Amino acid sequence: MNKEAIADLIEAKHSELIHWLQQQPEESWTEGPKGKWTQGQQTLHLLQSIKPLNNALSMPKFLLRYKFGKANRPVRDYNAIVKRYQERLEDAKGKTFKGSENMKVPQLEDKNYILNRLQTESKKLQYKTKKISDKNLDTVILPHPLMGKMPVREIIMWTAHHVEHHIETLKSRY
Spans of all domains in the chain: 3-11+37-173
Looking at residue 97, what is its pLDDT? 61
Examine the pLDDT at 79 and tell me if it is beyond 90. Answer: yes
Mean pLDDT over residues 105-110, rounded? Answer: 96
pLDDT above 70: residue 94: no
Res. 99 pLDDT band, cuts 50 70 90: low
What mean pLDDT comes out for the span 146-173?
Answer: 96
- Is pLDDT of 100 > 80? no
pLDDT at 65 over 80: yes
* Averaged pLDDT, 70-77: 96
**HSE-CB of 48 using CA atoms within 13 angstroms:** 15
> Average pLDDT of 2-19?
98
Given a cut of 90, whether residue 1 has pLDDT beyond it is yes
By three-state DSSP, how is residue 41 classified? helix
pLDDT confidence bin for 90, thresholds 50/70/90: confident
Segment among 10-24, 51-65, 84-98, 159-173 with least mean pLDDT: 84-98
DSSP string, 84-124: HHHHHHHHHTTPPPTTTTT-----GGGHHHHHHHHHHHHHH
